Structure 1
């Protein structure tokens, strides 16, 4: 897929991080860096002035932190994408960042493959959004028919991704697809929709109860989904262990999983005494959704 040119603004108080990200963006023909900032003091004003497609932003910054900047920009009407860069491992802080509209995390110290995969994934999302907008403008009079075709297409894309990562036949695959379909439905109504996974687990359990006349708990749905995603992590790690440059490993590892956890799973494959990698259901499903054309 040929990517349309994207513009970037980088905010990080470490000049080496800024230069590395700029280098990766230019080297991989991902777009143009329009500005670099070393603190958050005037960041919202600079973002609104340059209107970059993507902002790469550190969590902890002098003057004003990343969350404050994102909140200010959203209140001012900025529609671009945020990718957060951070050493932060606190789950509550990370959750707060996702709630405020970041797309993905790039963890420090920066891993080149992870950074490229994440940035490429967001660029592809932008390209899909632009393409869909152009199609809507061109064929507005057949909008209903187009929406039906696109919906069928993104459902096929889910099957393709799940086949790629080896989970299409897993017992929890249907639950995972239902979860993703619900999130897609929410995002089709409002791109920045907030949601609670527990609410969707409960909804899936209720639908299954009505369909099969059996009592099932939301916790059971969650466990099925987590087992399926853990299997995906195992499969991806196995690909990377065999060939670090395997195309499926490169395409999916940093988008669907925390890259540190992929490496931990690879360590476990090579030494069963090592802890297994961990998964984040929200990162996985948001990663899948970012790949869909809907």
Structure 2
């Protein structure tokens, strides 16, 4: 099935370049374009594209707010953000609000093609999974329900897929995720402090020791995901977890380190990782 695209950028040359990439590589069809954020929400909801390519800094209304608004209205498509902004806080906000990839300006053609192909591949996988679920549902009839995995089972599944199930910090990391879930259930509008959770996880140990064990486990996950992407940019686990659990810029930095050990390693954000895992849980 061909994917549909919506491009929002105030630079006409960027819009033309992205449309050319989509057309030349037979990735789908561009259904519409906009050069500002004024009517972006209504247009996205009207066309309901599979993928929105959107600039962060737009006239009238910025890209992050547009993403937030349309997701609240029930839009389920994918967002790829394109921007020259390098502020890590703003990029982190974009990921938190639902983008799946971030492409930096000036646009590198090879990177853009690989990213868009990767997201298209992810959509195809999701469609295949949905078809299988529907087929299984029809076979089992509506009266038969599949057993629901526990939170611990789901966390174990994720940790297995990203290759850290055997790491020494996994037990602490699992406790941290449970603590964050509990806090969010009790205090919906408040931000938690990781340091408070570290004290609860292992009272007999210094907070820094607990944090270091957790950090080492997440760094190993970053290393594993970057290795998957380095070998195969379309690897389903790489596509699923590289942006959900990490800042993609740091994943790319780790991939550069794999190619050249003189490069700096990628960095991890413990809160983003924890929130990413929680977003993947069926709770």
Q: Would you say same fold, with TM above 0.5?
A: yes
5+ long unaligned stretches in structure 1? none
**C-alpha separation in 1, matches of 2:150 and 2:22:** 30
TM-score, length of structure 2 as denominator length: 0.67
**C-alpha separation in 2, matches of 1:27 and 1:194:** 46
**C-alpha separation in 2, matches of 1:49 and 1:73:** 11
Alignment match of 1:198 (pick from 189, 193, 196): 193
Distance 1:282 1:79, change over 3 A: farther
Alignment match of 2:167 (pick from 163, 167, 170): 170
Distance 1:234 1:271, change over 3 A: same
How far does residue 63 in structure 1 lie from its aligned partner after superposition? 2.9
Q: Counterpart in 1 of 2:250?
A: 261
Partners of 1:13 and 1:39 within 8 A in 2: yes
**C-alpha separation in 2, matches of 1:98 and 1:152:** 25
5+ long unaligned stretches in structure 2? none
Residue 14 (structure 1) aligned with residue 3 (structure 2): no
State how 1:29-44 maps to structure 2 within 5 Å: 32-44=29-41
**C-alpha separation in 2, matches of 1:135 and 1:91:** 43
State how 1:23-102 maps to structure 2 within 5 Å: 32-74=29-71, 77-81=73-77, 82-99=79-96, 101-102=97-98
Partners of 2:6 and 2:53 within 8 A in 1: yes
Alignment match of 1:107 (pick from 84, 103, 120): 103
Further displaced range: 13-22 or 35-44: 13-22
Partners of 2:2 and 2:29 within 8 A in 1: yes
**C-alpha separation in 1, matches of 2:49 and 2:141:** 28
Any idea what the Cα deviations from partners look like across 1:163-214, whole Å, max 9, x if unmatched? 3xxx332212233345556778999x9xxx8885635x744753x45xxxx4
**C-alpha separation in 2, matches of 1:18 and 1:184:** 41
Any idea what the Cα deviations from partners look like across 1:140-182, whole Å, max 9, x if unmatched? 5444xx252586874563144123xxx3322122333455567
**C-alpha separation in 2, matches of 1:290 and 1:28:** 32
Q: Counterpart in 2 of 1:280?
A: 269
| Cα root mean square deviation, aligned | 4.7
TM-score, length of structure 1 as denominator length: 0.65
**C-alpha separation in 2, matches of 1:288 and 1:128:** 20
Q: Counterpart in 2 of 1:148?
A: 148
**C-alpha separation in 2, matches of 1:103 and 1:268:** 25
**C-alpha separation in 2, matches of 1:172 and 1:33:** 46
Distance 1:7 1:152, change over 3 A: farther
Q: Counterpart in 2 of 1:157?
A: 157
